[in-house]
Amino acid sequence: MTPPESKTIEEIADEDYEHGWSMDIPATEAPKGLNEEIVEYISEENDEPEWLKEWRLKAYNHWTEMEEPDWPNVEYPPIDFQDMKYYSAPEAGEEEDAPESLDEVDDEILEMYERLGIPLGEQKRLQGVAVDAVVDSVSVATTFKEELEDMGVIFCPISEAVQDYPDIVKKHLGSVVPITDNFYATLNSAVFSDGSFCYVPEGVECPLELSTYFRMNAEGTGQFERTLIVAEPDSYVSYLEGCTAPARRDHQLHAAVVELIAKDNAEIKYSTVQNWYPGDEEGEGGVYNFVTKRGKAAGRNSKISWAQVETGSAITWKYPSCILAGDGSVGEFYSVAITSRHQQADTGTKMIHLGDDTSSTIISKSISADQGQNTYRGQVKINEGAENARNRSECDSMLIGDECGAHTFPYIDVENPTAQMEHEATTTKIGEDQMFYLEQRGLDEEDAVRMIVNGFAEEVLDELPMEFAVEARNLLGIKLEGSVG
């Protein structure tokens, strides 16, 4: 194995959060605060049908009666939900001048994505990735739409899907994460602005990796995107999600909902590299990432696989889950979560086994450095009627420095004797013997640590599509800058 590209500590320290810049893009915004009018405003801005408006209002009214959850193992000052904007659209994204092709996308937005290293242009074709770019509340560009349409794959902003494919959206929206699900999911149902929609028809193996890149730009806005992926029988799709945000002194709220539905023999692979702004060294600012992700392996032998690299956000609170309803369905969860400075993460998964012969795998690797707090929280539930269910869970934590914390809270609920369950968790630090071995072979301390950390996370990184894996490896290195020694 060749060592990752070496950089001096100073260089790395200067890198810091490289996506912390923001741009002045003219935007249409909703006023601060949340009430029925705002919900209606968002609905009207998106020119939505009546049923969706009603659906949102129902969610909003339910939300007003809900209490913010306090069980996650994270601490933050109370969020003032009235002191926040719930809608911000870059003006180029206004529907009357919606870009027909990339040539019409506002130069500033293109430039922003260039700076993020996500070119929306031609070169992406070579990498075989179709990108949906979401800035603040709306989708600004989607590449390769036509090529996908030829195969029958629909990949477009969900706001467009509501207009163009209302039946599919209506049938599936909220079917995995109902509007009453939890505080943040319900809030999202009320105010979600945009997000990606993907529909893969029967028998189609999606030839491109589909990707959404989320970017928060405007100040004082929350981002509430909603993603819906439907895979019809015998289809396959791999979906990537990336996120960044500018460095702001205020905390920004990101409350997304992702719903996946896999029918008979279908497979959905969902990968995330989450690099929202984590706040500065003192813990000022940073994104609150409160996300609900759930997939339903509804069909026989269907499969849902989550892979996530969580490096950003001041607070991460998310549990990508699988409901294994179909007989023989498979759920997978691969996660690397890294917290440094004052970051807190409470993340994990739920595997709910309902069908017979279902199996699930959970591999979670958490790395805590500085004052970072990292919690794995997960549930594996084998329902009474789920015969021959199988689960293997592995949750490993690595601690770097003596002020951080690593916590593991797995819930294992077995109601059927034919289940085979294994859960294992370990907590360790980087061994002195490992460091000694690498250093005596000429690696400096920083590289040795990178190599050990990459090795620690290898099992998960291997699950990521290649270019994401490269980005993830680099992120891991950057995040640990200054934490070692």
The footprint of another protein (CB under 8 A) covers: 71, 397, 399-429
Indicate the residue among 94 and 422 with the shorter CB distance to another protein: 422
Nearest approach, Cβ of 354 to another protein (angstroms)? 16
Nearest approach, Cβ of 196 to another protein (angstroms)? 36
Nearest approach, Cβ of 388 to another protein (angstroms)? 11
Nearest approach, Cβ of 393 to another protein (angstroms)? 9
**Paired residues of 315 in beta bridges:** 288, 344
Indicate the residue among 149 and 415 with the shorter CB distance to another protein: 415
Three-state helix/strand/coil letters over the chain = CCCCCCCCHHHHHHHCCCCCCCCCCCEEECCECCCHHHHHHHHHHCCCCHHHHHHHHHHHHHHHCCCCCCCCCCCCCCCCCCCCECCEEEHHHCHHHCCCCHHHCCHHHHHHHHHCCCCCCCHHHHHCEEEEEEECCEEEEECCHHHHHHHCCEEEEHHHHHHHCHHHHHHHCCCCCCCCCCHHHHHHHHHCCECEEEEECCCCECCCEEEEEEECCCCCECECEEEEEEECCCCEEEEEEEEECCCCCCEEEECCEEEEEECCCCEEEEEEEECCCCCCCCCCCEEEEEEEEEEEECCCCCEEEEEEEECCCCEEEECCEEEECCCCCEEEEEEEEEECCCCEEEECCEEEECCCCCEEEEEEEEEEECCCEEEEEEEEEECCCCCCCEEEEEEEEEEECCCCEEEEEEEEEECCCCCEEEEEEEEEECCHHHHHHHHCCCCCHHHHHHHHHHHHHHHHHCCCCHHHHHHHHHHHHHHCCCCCC
Indicate the residue among 285 and 410 with the shorter CB distance to another protein: 410
Nearest approach, Cβ of 131 to another protein (angstroms)? 39
Indicate the residue among 115 and 429 with the shorter CB distance to another protein: 429
Burial call 17-44: b when 16+ CB within 10 Å, e when fewer: bebeebeebebebbeeebeeebbebbbe
Indicate the residue among 101 and 426 with the shorter CB distance to another protein: 426
Nearest approach, Cβ of 410 to another protein (angstroms)? 7
Indicate the residue among 180 and 388 with the shorter CB distance to another protein: 388
Indicate the residue among 317 and 468 with the shorter CB distance to another protein: 317
Indicate the residue among 125 and 429 with the shorter CB distance to another protein: 429
Nearest approach, Cβ of 400 to another protein (angstroms)? 7
Indicate the residue among 50 and 67 with the shorter CB distance to another protein: 67
Nearest approach, Cβ of 339 to another protein (angstroms)? 13
- Give the separation between CA 348 and CA 336, rounded to whole angstroms: 10
Nearest approach, Cβ of 335 to another protein (angstroms)? 16
Indicate the residue among 34 and 74 with the shorter CB distance to another protein: 74
Q: Are 254 and 289 in contact (CB under 8 A)?
A: yes
Nearest approach, Cβ of 445 to another protein (angstroms)? 16
